Chain A
Amino acid sequence: MASPKSDIPQGTLDLLILKVVAVGPLHGYAIAQRLQQISRDVLQVQQGTLYPALHRLENRGLLAAEWKLSDTGREAKFYRLTRKGRAQLEHETASWQRLTDAIELVLRNPEGELS
């Protein structure tokens, strides 16, 4: 895994978690794996960041958790998106999109370059 890794900017982790969980209920480990896979190993999520974030989102009512029997035969804590979480996700996705569009616009605009 020689590709460079990025730390996740503060605040965006929440957005990413919501996005990943939107697909369906997942447990913590799976969320971490999924984030890593989707970002092609660029995003590394530490346990010490992931779990407090999950608990925070749960406390804010954006995620709901449920203990269910998992593939390992043990019970695992599965997180799923709540209605409130879905609204938040849409809202944040939209504003993230606006922001990245704006940044891209600035970065690609040749007139912005010094000539």
Chain B
Amino acid sequence: MTRWVRRLLRGPELERQLDAELNDHVERLVADYMRDGLSEADARRQARVAVGGVEQVKELCRDARGTMWAENIGRDVTYTFRQLRRRPAFWSIVTLTLVVGIATTTSMFAIVNGVLLRPLPYHEPDRLVSVTNYGFRGVYVEMRQRSRTMDVGAFMARAPVTLTGRGEPVRLQVVLSDSRLFDVLGVNAVIGRRFVADDVRVGGPPVALLSFRAWQQRFGGDEAIVGRQATLDGTPYTVTGVMPADFRFPADADVSLPLVINPFPVTPPERVDLWANGANMIGRLRPGLTVAQAQDEARMIIPPLRDRFPWRMPADFGKNAAVVPLVEQIVGNARPTLLVLFAAVLAVMLILCVNVANLLLTRGLARERELAIRAAVGGTRARLIGQLMLESLTVSTLAGILGIAVAVAVLRVTIALLPSDVPRIEDISIDAWVLAFALAMSIVTGLLFGIIPAIRVTRTGLRSPLTGGGTAPLHVGERRASRLLVTVEFALAVMLVVSAGLLIKSLRNLLTVDPGYRVEQLVTANVAPPLQRYGRPAAQLQFVEDLLTRLRTVPRVQSVAAGYAAPFVGNQFGGVFAIEGRPDPETRTGDWASSDVRALVSPEYLRVLGIRLLEGRPFSDADRIATERVAIVSRSLAGAYWGTTSPVGARIRLPGGPNARWITIVGVAADIKWNNLGEERNWASGDPVTGFLKTLYLPLAQTPFVDNNGVRLVVRTTGDPEGIAASLRAVVHELDRDTPVSDITTGEAAIGTSVARPRFTAFLLALFAGVALFLGAIGVYGVVAYAVGRRTQEFAVRLALGASGRDLLGGVLGEGVRLTLAGVALGLVGAFLTTRALARLLFGVAPGDPGVFAIVALLLAIIGLVASYVPARRAMRVNPLAALQSE
């Protein structure tokens, strides 16, 4: 080994010695010949003949030295750089192409890595699960106590609070956490302590736990914060601690308050709290147990709890309890989108490789003389392949390094474009995995685009004699390779374009859905009157009515209404009700009827939004607390409980015991979309699919209620809604200086946000498809152009012999068309097999939509034809005389 290294290091000296040794041999031979009587010139000639190729002998001796391959790499690298420098334009284009490809692929992988692959920032995150579908506090209490498969904790997002006493009042996102949650997640506070059992007991002192971000931004990173007070909604809370920077209380909150549950309720409100309010359960599987076992157990524990509810629950209660890995619950719905985009970007990268391979193949033929020379002076085939591979690997590695730099920028732009509902965006970064991916990617790329040309070119290169001119005869082998590559490339392009087409059609379907209300010239805003002054329902109602009166006089406000719900801005909730004359759920003889949305609204609400009234009367100012209680139901709700008969005149009752007042249904409203143009129905309702959420409208004035989230203003403007925000704020602050106005948005913007993800997916995929199409067209163009170039002389002869330009055009064009059609056919089959993966992303279009397939096939066939025709035309223009003379 040490001798080997010494030999390697002494390389140049050994070369010199080898030279001298062989030279000595030749000189002695010459001397011998001269002694035999030959002249010196004859002796030398004779010696040369006897010795044979000195270079070949040297090469064999170097091989014998055993350090050959290592020296070769050194030499080949030098040679490679000389090669690259000799063709700067060509290699720049190749490198640039690869840089773009690697940068795009790397940033897409960074997103996939950050969102889908990176482990959650908790202790042994693989064992964390979420228990879904029956997240009631009472269910949590039972699961916490009785589960033997997992330790269970819980949290619950709630309305934000206003932090005061620390500069400007700010809204903080709040989550309620049980102390068990932190045990389950296995996370400790970085300063102070997390919640303990004493913090979450009934009647415990008011305490708060801060997120790292809130601590930094709102409390100035005060090290001595623990034990100090934070005033939230006017109440002082003692800060117990600060959580780590990457901890997000699953629900991405600024501050956590204790989740206080009384497991032994005495009063009716306490019972309602236990069995009506929610708790998101998170479990840690005990060692060695599986998700399936935990789910089986949950389905044993939960169904019998049906009898513990103060009211009647559906017969299948608890049977659909699901236990899923926590990471699945957090990122599950983003996975199809991201994987589809990642697959698309990989396909583009593959096409890029094919294109570059083709380029090298074509160019490699121009190098066959060089390769033949190298073969003649002792280069083995393996050596030449190695040399060519080294060239592609050098280029791809270089492109990889540049690509990573570019990826940093691309990633920043892509993250900015990402729809905000993609989870874990803040976890996306270029970490060691992403770097490793980029590096592996560039090496694989180099091998992919380098190997076929290297094998092909050396095969022909070694065979071809040095006698040929600039245009050697066409080799069947490399042309077949080239055509195959282009066919595959075109097929991949077809698959991408089909996918993009499907997503675009789906997006168009989505955008043409009628949301059921007038979106134009609509502005909504959230107004949250401070609870200290407006915490009682009567005071809150007074505030809202005063505000509406003032707003009606504002210029450009055509009409205005308020409600505790508005379409496409989130925050609606549903509820249950009993129907007069049917078995009473409160006495546990009947089932509750339910609405997916319970909208408490001011009288003009339906008119301002432009929701059509199908039957009955609208609400009026005369519907007050003292008059008969009234309701309007959506058509889907009417259909669910009254079928085809009219519900107008029927009476319903909200939960609240036998003293609750009956509410008369006075009208039926047309359905609207509440959150999503593609929305279907509430998962739990079990109703037939109507495409709409069942909605119950109740007058604000008759329904005492305060929502901590604040009330929604719905404003119809005259003309452009832009610029109305300032007037809204001014009027609200005129009424109450401390009332924050937030989330001011137009109807179009709200709907735009709801389609951000499909739009993003369609946009990116269309972009990728466009690039793929472009590269595919270039591939076809290249093959045809190359064929024309190589056959110029043949064409010249044929023209000279009387063939028409048209004949030649037909022949060349035929080749391009065959390629295109093969690519399209292959691509359609591929698309048919793969677009099924898109099914979850599509709205109103099947993955095998014949229209999309047909249009794409036609479009790509035309593009392939054009890409073949342009270079093929040159075959017609061959000047026989000039071409033949150049021979």
A residues adjacent to B (C-beta < 8 A): 27-29, 32, 46-48, 51-53, 55-56, 59, 61, 67, 70, 72, 74-77
Of B50-58, B284-292, B646-654, B762-770, the segment with at least 4 beta carbons within 8 Å of chain A is: B50-58
Which of B24, B28, B52 meets A46, CB within 8 Å? B52
CB of B24 within 8 A of CB of A76, answer: yes
In the complex, the chain B residue whose C-beta lies closest to that of A61 is B3
Contacts A55-B65, A59-B7 given: A48-B52 contact, CB under 8 Å? yes
CB of A28 within 8 A of CB of B65, answer: no
Chain B residues with CB under 8 Å of A27's CB are: 21, 24
CB of A47 within 8 A of CB of B7, answer: no
C-alpha gap A24/B716 in the complex (Å): 112
Contacts A47-B51, A47-B57 given: A77-B7 contact, CB under 8 Å? no
C-alpha gap A76/B21 in the complex (Å): 7
CB of A52 within 8 A of CB of B51, answer: no
Chain B residues with CB under 8 Å of A76's CB are: 21, 24
Chain B residues with CB under 8 Å of A59's CB are: 3, 7, 64-66
Chain B residues with CB under 8 Å of A53's CB are: 64
- B25 interface contact, C-beta 8 A: yes
Chain B residues with CB under 8 Å of A74's CB are: 24, 27
**A–B pairs, 13, beta carbons within 8 Å:** A29-B25, A29-B28, A47-B22, A47-B51, A47-B52, A53-B64, A55-B61, A72-B27, A74-B24, A75-B20, A76-B21, A77-B20, A77-B24
Contacts A47-B57, A48-B57, A55-B61 given: A28-B21 contact, CB under 8 Å? yes
Which of B24, B60, B66 meets A28, CB within 8 Å? B24
- B17 interface contact, C-beta 8 A: yes
Chain A residues with CB under 8 Å of B66's CB are: 59
- B63 interface contact, C-beta 8 A: yes
Chain A residues with CB under 8 Å of B576's CB are: none
Chain A residues with CB under 8 Å of B31's CB are: 72
C-alpha gap A76/B22 in the complex (Å): 10
Contacts A29-B29, A47-B52, A59-B66 given: A52-B24 contact, CB under 8 Å? no
CB of B17 within 8 A of CB of A77, answer: yes
CB of B24 within 8 A of CB of A51, answer: no
C-alpha gap A70/B28 in the complex (Å): 11
Contacts A75-B20, A77-B17 given: A47-B64 contact, CB under 8 Å? no
Known pairs A27-B21, A74-B27 / 7 extra A-B pairs, C-beta < 8 Å = A48-B57, A53-B64, A59-B65, A67-B17, A70-B24, A75-B20, A77-B20
Contacts A47-B52, A48-B52 given: A77-B65 contact, CB under 8 Å? no
The secondary-structure label for the interface of chain B is helix
CB of A77 within 8 A of CB of B21, answer: yes
CB of B63 within 8 A of CB of A28, answer: no
Kindly list the 5 A-B residue pairs having the minimum CB-CB distance in the complex, ordered from nearest: A55-B64, A52-B60, A52-B64, A29-B28, A56-B64
C-alpha gap A59/B29 in the complex (Å): 26
Contacts A29-B28, A72-B27, A72-B28 given: A51-B56 contact, CB under 8 Å? no
Binary per-residue interface labels of chain B (33-75) against chain A in the complex, 1 for a CB within 8 Å, 0 otherwise: 0000000000000000011110011001101111000000000
C-alpha gap A14/B61 in the complex (Å): 15
C-alpha gap A72/B30 in the complex (Å): 12
In the complex, the chain B residue whose C-beta lies closest to that of A46 is B52
C-alpha gap A75/B21 in the complex (Å): 9
CB distance from A84 to the nearest CB of B (A): 13
In the complex, the chain B residue whose C-beta lies closest to that of A75 is B20
CB distance from B166 to the nearest CB of A (A): 79
In the complex, the chain A residue whose C-beta lies closest to that of B51 is A47
CB of A47 within 8 A of CB of B65, answer: no
Which of B3, B24, B51 has the largest count of A CB atoms less than 10 A from its CB?
B24
In the complex, the chain A residue whose C-beta lies closest to that of B52 is A48
CB of B3 within 8 A of CB of A47, answer: no
CB of A52 within 8 A of CB of B63, answer: yes
Chain B residues with CB under 8 Å of A47's CB are: 22, 25, 50-52, 57
Chain A residues with CB under 8 Å of B50's CB are: 47
C-alpha gap A56/B28 in the complex (Å): 23
Chain A residues with CB under 8 Å of B22's CB are: 47, 51
CB of A51 within 8 A of CB of B65, answer: no
C-alpha gap A52/B58 in the complex (Å): 8
In the complex, the chain A residue whose C-beta lies closest to that of B4 is A59
C-alpha gap A27/B29 in the complex (Å): 13
